[in-house]
Structure 1
Amino acid sequence: MLLRRVLILASVSLAVQAASDSPVSETTMPQCAVLCQKEALGNNVTECAVTNTSCLCNDAAFQGNVTACVSTTCNGREQMIAKRLSDRQCGIAPHKGRPENDPGTIVPLILSTLLVANRFICKLMGLGGTWGADDVTIGIAYILAVSIFGTNISMIRYGFGQNMWDISPLDHITIMLKYFYAFTLQYKTQISLAKISVCLFLLRIFQSNVFRYTTYTVIGLNAAIAVTWVLTDSLHCIPVHLAWDQWETLEPGQCVNFIDVTFANAFVNIGVDTVMVLMPVYEVLHLNLSSRKKLSVSVMFAMGLLLTIVAIIRVVVFWFNRWNTNPSVQLQPIVYWSVVETHIAVICACLPTLRAMLVHLFPKLFPNAGDNSTANKNTPSGRPTFASSSQALNRSQINKTVSYTVDYQDDSKKRPQRHSFVQLVEIDPREP
């Protein structure tokens, strides 16, 4: 037994001497880690022979003892190097994350690009009403979505999706975390802008006071959410630079719990998404339209549930991949779904103009697209009533535009309301 301990100490001493004589590099086991192995072997933590690498790798007690020692005696960079070299010695393959050219993020990018282009083309052709603040905000939201897509690619190039200790050179970890810092700020801003764009669009259609007050409240809520979470994420570490170099620095500071902040933001967004879907659907269901048209328009607005579904998936994925000591792997699933969510938000905001273009190109598929519904006056009970009109055209007439508008007028206050014409559909002009 004594001879065994002497041999162990002698072999480890040689390893320590070799480590101390070599310059610090990512290919040499740090001296602090070697000393931890020496201590574990000298304390008879394992029954494995010092030369039996396979046995030592599978000995949970030995590995746990060494890991605990390394975490307290080595700095962040040394811990990463020790873990990487230990994995290589034990034959543990590096983790491979999602690729840069991931179809799961490229397809939503292509779809959002096509729908934004379609939206602006519709505006130029006069199919989707006049230009408004909703077009400006969705344009900015789309630019941010593209930037978020690019930021994700940059993160992957610098090791995002790999084990943190497998990222080489280790300086790439800091660069990757800087990109992640920018990613979170862009994400919080983009999601709120896309939702504000939808609200501004709805304000151009529905004119009831209750609906407008509710919509303005939701706009204010989305703006407050954006400001609050951007400030929270930008200052979640004090000093700020700890957000990207805390892994290797011993500088004192504080960081808020990323898990709690992310869950809080996700649940708030899901609640707002649900309200935004129910608002227009409720209004449409109370219009004096045919059941078929109610269903058609309601389904279009209800497509916003896709955003809610993606947000829920994002929460579930994050729950099962909560941040631990390997955030570059654990955070990639939620980043993936965040990229998808930003483009789904843009797609949902552009669906009405997609319908307008489809009606323009394929009028026979939408035979009742010319029905209009407008509010005439309030009933004694205070609920608006709607008159539905469908104008029949003979072949010698030209139907230039057909719009859906909902114009509420409050007779009791005797003040004019602005009549917003928002073109959701247009039928092709027909020559006599």
Structure 2
Amino acid sequence: MANPVNLTEGDLNLAASITVNLGFLARNFYDSKTIEVVSAFADFYNSTPNATDSEILTFSGARPRDLDLLLTMLGQREILRDSIFWLDAVAEYLPRTPGTGHILVPVFTVFTILTTVVLGLRLWSRQTIAGGVRGYDWIMVFGYFMTLIYGSSALYHAVNINTASQFWDYSWNEIALQQMFYIILDILYPITALIIKASLLLFYYTLSPARYLKWSVWATFGFTFATAITAVLYSIFKCHPVNYWSEWYTSTCDSNQTIPYLVTGSLMILSDVIIWVLPLPMVMKLQLYRRERIAAIFTFSLGIFACIASIFRLKAVHKYFLTSAGTGKTPIINTWTIVELNLAIICASAPALRALCIKHAPKLLSYGSGNSSDNNSNSDSSMHNERARKNTRSVHGRIIVHHDQIRPSDLASLRSGISRTGSGWSDVEKSVQYSSTSRLGSPV
């Protein structure tokens, strides 16, 4: 049925306010939809037009102080009754749209499978190519499980709670559960993002002994940590008490939550950008062929996709705060959050996947098989230099060492193998020494 002409957006917001306040007041109806509570109150007032406070308390199960506070806010007892009659009369014209939580199911499923596979390949690459799983890898594993916790919580909210898009189609117990999940997800997001970023920064810290990089990593971590903690603390203490839904009338909340959320969200996006571009100047200084340099820059620049997802998430947060009559925007926020966190893990693992491709499927990256073996070498030394030949190749008379395939233990054999090819040692030694300390091509 079409909405009446006079049922404006302001009317819808007023309807939402009446249902929420009446829903909290009527403790005997906490499991009934708030619009059904309005109908029950309308019938009560029709049968008891001059109802006393005692009769209202008996019917609704309200606490005396809650009824007193509500009536004080309204100014007159007649306003409560008239508001109930008005909402009951227009109830059939209120929009009834289903929840949007179903969009979260395929997103969560696809990204969970994809991220699990990528993380597994990353750990395999680290163990078989880079000499073992490092501390920053385990931190990323922790971030992966935190991402699963966030996604599972958001999925439960989408499937079991977010069944409608307006407050009048929820019971008060469902509204209270929604508010609890909002706080949980608000806290989980910055913590999970901080863990993933900490893993990346720790990896950058081990890349090079350059002082500027280490100081940049520390400064970026301090900025990221401060932003995440600020977001967590604001989510927890934006209302007093924290579980404000249990004390609806006596609780106090920040009246303008849009600005803090947008500011902290923008700062988190800024930290994303800083983290993903931080290693690029160092990559530009590496003694690599143009194709190698472009591939390395592209690998580290994949994080831009996670930054784009962060921007869309912030846009969804802003849109949520512009809508006061319903709750349908929350699954959109959760969807973009899941995309952002999973993309961050996937993009951070790109160097490990690249190293894996170079070793096991070189044609995917246009790497040919090694041909740097020396025909004049004897049989005893050929076995000793087998790994050196696999990790080097001759191009126009020069030897190229793939930094993402080399191990520190290969240094001696490479020195021996390179010396017999007639190529100079100094240029290659720089590449091997860099690789042994920084493992640029190792999994992030």
- TM-score range (shorter-chain normalised) is 0.5 to 0.7
Residue equivalent to 2:307 = 308
- Whether contact under 8 Å (1:310, 1:341) holds in the other structure is yes
Identify the residue that residue 144 of structure 1 maps to in structure 2.
146
Q: CA deviation at 1:284?
A: 1.1
Question: In structure 2, what is the Cα distance between the partners aligned to 1:190 and 1:111?
Answer: 18
Q: Could you tell me how far 1:266 is from its partner in structure 2?
A: 1.4
State the Cα distance separating 1:106 from its structure 2 match.
Answer: 2.3
Tell me the secondary structure at the aligned position of residue 95 of structure 1: coil
Equivalence for 2:183: 181
Decide whether the 8 Å contact of 1:270 with 1:312 is kept in 2: yes
List per-residue Cα deviations over 1:169-214 (Å, max 9, x = no partner): 3311111221221111110101111111111112222332111210
Compared CA separation, residues 279 and 252, structure 1 to 2 (3 A): closer
Instruction: Give the deviation of 1:335 after TM superposition.
Output: 2.2
State whether residues 316 and 333 of structure 2, in contact with CA within 8 Å, keep that contact through their aligned partners in structure 1: yes
> Counting helix residues as a fraction of each chain, which structure ranks higher?
2
* CA distance 1:132–1:326, shift in 2 (3 Å): farther
CA distance in 1, matches of 2:291, 2:259: 45
Unmatched segments (≥5 aa) in structure 2 = 1-27, 47-73, 376-381, 392-401, 409-433
Q: Cα distance, 1:143 vs. partner?
A: 0.6
How many residue pairs get matched? 338
> 1:306 and 1:176 mapped to 2: Cα distance?
30
Q: CA deviation at 1:419?
A: 5.9
How many Å apart are 1:151 and its aligned residue? 0.6
- Measured in 1, the distance between the counterparts of 2:329 and 2:76 equals 22
Aligned to 1:297: 296
Distance (whole Å) between structure 2 residues aligned to residue 168 and residue 366 of structure 1: 54
Cα offsets for 1:346-392 (capped at 9, x unmatched):
1122111111222222023446599xxxxxxxxxxxxxxxxxxx993
Aligned to 1:119: 122
Residue 272 of structure 2 aligns with an amino acid whose one-letter code is D
| Aligned partners of 1:161 and 1:332 also within 8 Å | no
Aligned residue number for residue 403 of structure 2: 403
- 2:323 equivalent in structure 1: 324
Local SS of the residue matching 2:102: coil
Please state how far the C-alpha of 1:332 moved relative to its aligned partner: 2.8
- Report deviation, 1:95: 3.1
TM-score by length of 1: 0.68
Deviations for 1:153-172, whole angstroms, at most 9, x for unmatched residues? Answer: 12123432623424443311
Alpha-carbon displacement from aligned partner over 1:54-76 (angstroms, at most 9, x marks no partner): xxxxxxxxxxxxxx99999559x
Q: Deviations over 1:208-236 (max 9, x none)?
A: 21112101211222222222221221122
Mapped contact 1:94–1:166 kept (Cα < 8 A): no
Identical-pair percentage: 17
Match for 2:220: what amino acid? V
Measure, in 2, the Cα distance between the counterparts of 1:288 and 1:227.
40
Q: Look up the SS of the partner of 1:96 in the other structure.
A: coil
Q: Does 1:420 align with 2:437?
A: yes
Equivalent-residue separation in structure 1 for 2:324 and 2:38 (angstroms)? 20
In 2 relative to 1, CA 263–363 (structure 1 residues): closer, same or farther, beyond 3 Å? same
SS in 1 for 2:403: strand
Q: Does the 8 Å CA contact 1:36/1:69 hold for their aligned counterparts?
A: no
Paired residues for 1:54-203 under 5 Å:
73-74=79-80, 89-90=92-93, 92-99=95-102, 102-125=105-128, 127-160=129-162, 162-203=164-205
The 1:425–1:341 alpha-carbon spacing in structure 2 relative to 1, beyond 3 Å, is closer
- Structure 1 74/353 Cα, relative in aligned 2: closer, same or farther at 3 Å? farther
From 228, 231, 237, the counterpart of 1:229: 231
SS across alignment from 1:123: helix
Return 5+ residue gaps in structure 1 as ranges: 1-22, 38-67, 371-389, 408-416, 427-432
Assess if the C-alpha contact under 8 Å between 1:164 and 1:173 holds in 2: no
* d(CA) in 1 for partners of 2:366, 2:295: 12
Q: Over the residues paired in the alignment, what is the CA RMSD in angstroms?
A: 3.8
Using the alignment, how far apart are the partners of 1:121 and 1:235 within structure 2?
Answer: 42
Q: Which has the higher contact order (CA 8 A, sep 6+)?
A: 2
Superposed displacement of residue 305, structure 1 = 0.5
Give the direction of change, closer, same or farther, for the CA distance of 1:109–1:237 in structure 2 (3 Å limit). Answer: same
Check 1:305–1:270 CA distance in 2 against 1; reply closer, same or farther (3 A cut).
Answer: same
Checking the alignment, whether the CA contact within 8 Å between 1:277 and 1:301 is kept in structure 2 is yes
Question: CA separation in 2, counterparts of 1:162 and 1:204?
Answer: 49
